[in-house]
Chains A and B, each alone.
Chain A
Amino acid sequence: MTRPTQTGLSLDTDVMVLGGGPAGAWAAISAAEAGARVVLADKGYLGTSGAAASGGNNLWYLPEDESLRARAVADREALGGRLTDRRWMERVQTETYRQINRLAEWGYPFPRDEHGNERRSSLQGPEYMRRLRRKVHRSGVHILDHHPALELLTDADGTVSGAAGLRRQEGWTRWQARAGAVVLATGGCAFLSGAFGLNVDTGDGHLMAAELGAELSGMEFSSVYGRSPAFGNHTKGLMMQFASYYDASGRPLEAEGHKGAELIARRLAAGRPVHARLDRAPTALRQSMRQAQPNYFLPLDKAGVDPFDEAYPLRLVFEGTVRGTGGLRLLTPDCATGVPGLYAAGDVATRELVTGAASGGGSLNGAWAISSGTWAGGGAARFARNRGALPPRHNLRPAGTTALRAAPPGGHPTTRAEVDETVTTVQKEVLPLDRNYFRTADRLHTSLRTLDTLWGRLADQPAATDGRTMLRAREAAAMTAHARWMYRAALAREESRGVHRRDDRPGTAARFEHRLMVSGLEQLDVRADPVLPVLTAKGTRAARIAAGDASQERRVS
């Protein structure tokens, strides 16, 4: 094991982008197009790392048809439990459409349907991210793969002025970048659950921002699990629309719709098996299904399972705030976090503005990553330009708190075993279905007691001596903070809405038709967001009740 040294890489740039999933890539492209010098650092590799690279993205890509777009907004608003902001949804429609059309110009091989028309509403993960990498590279962006960021740097006034981290393929030496502004695009947090491609997403950016006082929003909308074959982690859900579900003896389970999803989760939570088979897929469609989503079929083929013929056992794998919606609260149209010089894009930011209380996985998250990335990159470039000269190096202050400072005299550096134990402790509170999918005030309190105690221990945890443990310790701290924000917000939302299910509070309560902000690291604070949802006239409750569609109001108990 190599000791991380102070000698390493030192860089200056206008805009520093942390994270190289789609949000980071689009942010880098946009900042470069605005004339900024850009450095992008990813924990893994820009092109393979993150949720979109493995999973692929269906997109909220709608043609320029006013009524179609308006209908899509109204639909998502109802689905999202009326916490959305119509203006942001409309902006996302416009921006996604514009950028995806540019992606086509750059050569993304979109398919054509039988009439010869291009279909641009779906992207295959590896192809999408390989193309984005090429575009980022050609935009003159300096790409740093395997350069996880550990913390932000500020100047004497607290303005974000860069970031620092480790070079994990260069003997775990250090890197430090001085920058006029920083875009966080580090993805959501899936708690090292192993879900398809998500172990890089541990909420590091949320922790870095919170260390500077940034606020979060929507953290209660974090109880999202994906369906995977029991032997694997492949949480590709789209094809499962053709699935029927069975118990162990092959008896069909009533698993339609919202109620069905809950039934499956309850069975699995109780340790009773659920099997799936795509027997509702017409034979004529099967080949095109395989071509559309090879990453759904690949693991099954490798395991020798033909999902059209044979029922395979399922499990639910936790996807946290990747397919949940909570994240950093945004204050401006260009995705500023409220910490001067710090912008956020993609899953690290709250997606409530566009998906509300519902999961954005399946079309909105991908569109949000493209749009918010574009805006945040532009915002950061403007901020850096207006700011002018970078602060002198000796004035830079590291903003990281936990797990980064040398052990005090008499103390010992953090060990791998201690860090692994932290991870296990957090996972025990957040992964189980009966803790997180089905929430109650009692269970949330119990979990919070454990997590608060854990945070108390971590708050002044010294750094490890080897880089790999040091990184994992920061990830573990980020996960602990994340879990506490999630459960604190979940306790405060005394109702069920969207993906947030309170078994002790079934049903939606009108007094909670607003977003919840949570902030802090030691002491957590939850309050109602003074900025209210902005809904469409069509989507108002009165209008929907008048139209006889009150079904969205009722929650399944």
Chain B
Amino acid sequence: MIELVSSQRCIGCDKCVHVCPTNVFDRGADGIPVIARQDDCQTCFMCEAYCPVDALFVAPTTHPQPADAPLRDESRLAGSDLLGSYRARIGWGRGRTPGARFAVGPELPGATPATPTTTTLTATAPADSATPTPHPKGTTQ
């Protein structure tokens, strides 16, 4: 669950207020968002991914942390590189390469057969792109 909005780091851009899918934050009077509805947090890490200054921390647990928990201790989190770690992994932010570029992954027996797609495909339009999609018959009533 969302546990921390660092008032030291926050620049009041309101991104987290906009992107949180479950509307957990409210705009605070001082411009710093407040965690208004922690129960609604679905621990999806999206706010962390979008915060430009790594001011947010979402604990991995689905229940709130006690006040003195290490996962709420800002200096400890900052010291162990846990602030902004999702953003770093997905390679978002100035000067970073999108993490998707490195997501080759191992071959997994249960996944789609990983099919090498050569770069030439980017240039050639897929053969079917000009033809209308076939409409199966018999599913209509």
A interface residues with partner B (beta carbon < 8 Å): 43-45, 47-50, 53-54, 58-64, 68, 72, 85, 87-88, 90-91, 94-95, 97-98, 101, 104-105, 108-113, 115-124, 126-127, 145-146, 168-169, 194, 196-200, 229, 231-234, 238, 241, 281, 285, 288-295, 297-303, 330-334, 338, 353, 362-363, 375, 530-531, 534
Partner of A127, one of B98, B114, B117: B98
Please, which residues of chain B bring their CB within 8 A of the CB of A123?
100
- Which B residues, 85 to 112, have Cβ-Cβ distances below 8 Å to chain A? 85-86, 89-90, 92, 97-106, 108-112
Partner of B44, one of A168, A169, A196: A196
Q: How far is the CA of A85 from the CA of B134 in the complex (A)?
A: 14
The verdict on B34 contacting chain A, using a C-beta distance below 8 Å, is: no
CB distance from A282 to the nearest CB of B (A): 8
Partner of B62, one of A53, A232, A295, A331: A232
The verdict on B79 contacting chain A, using a C-beta distance below 8 Å, is: no
Partner of B104, one of A68, A98, A288: A288
Closest to B136 in A: A87
CB–CB A119/B101 < 8 A: no
The verdict on B8 contacting chain A, using a C-beta distance below 8 Å, is: no
- Which B residues, 23 to 45, have Cβ-Cβ distances below 8 Å to chain A? 23, 40, 42-45
Name the interface size band of chain B. 35 or more
CB distance from A12 to the nearest CB of B (A): 25
CB–CB B105/A288 < 8 A: yes
Partner of B127, one of A64, A113, A200: A64
CB–CB B122/A104 < 8 A: yes
CB–CB A105/B122 < 8 A: yes
Given A331-B140, A332-B140, A362-B111, A113 and B135 contact (CB-CB distance below 8 Å): no
CB–CB B85/A121 < 8 A: no
Please, which residues of chain B bring their CB within 8 A of the CB of A62?
112-113, 115
CB distance from A149 to the nearest CB of B (A): 15
CB–CB B103/A291 < 8 A: yes
11 contacts between A and B (CB under 8 A): A44-B20, A49-B21, A85-B136, A109-B97, A109-B101, A116-B119, A121-B112, A194-B42, A331-B139, A331-B141, A534-B136
- Which B residues, 60 to 99, have Cβ-Cβ distances below 8 Å to chain A? 60-62, 71, 82, 85-86, 89-90, 92, 97-99
CB–CB A91/B136 < 8 A: yes
Chain B, residues 6-22, CB within 8 Å of chain A (1/0): the string is 00000000000111111
CB–CB A531/B116 < 8 A: no
Please, which residues of chain B bring their CB within 8 A of the CB of A119?
104, 114-117
CB–CB B61/A232 < 8 A: yes
CB–CB A233/B21 < 8 A: no
CB distance from B86 to the nearest CB of A (A): 6
CB–CB B109/A241 < 8 A: yes
Q: How far is the CA of A332 from the CA of B139 in the complex (A)?
A: 6
The verdict on B4 contacting chain A, using a C-beta distance below 8 Å, is: no
CB–CB A126/B46 < 8 A: yes
Given contacts A200-B22, A233-B42, A233-B62, 12 further A-B contacts (CB under 8 A): A58-B112, A64-B127, A101-B126, A111-B102, A117-B117, A118-B117, A126-B46, A292-B103, A292-B104, A331-B141, A534-B136, A534-B138
Q: How far is the CA of A332 from the CA of B133 in the complex (A)?
A: 13
Please, which residues of chain B bring their CB within 8 A of the CB of A300?
60
Given A45-B19, A115-B116, A127-B90, A333 and B139 contact (CB-CB distance below 8 Å): yes
CB–CB A302/B60 < 8 A: yes
CB–CB B43/A194 < 8 A: yes
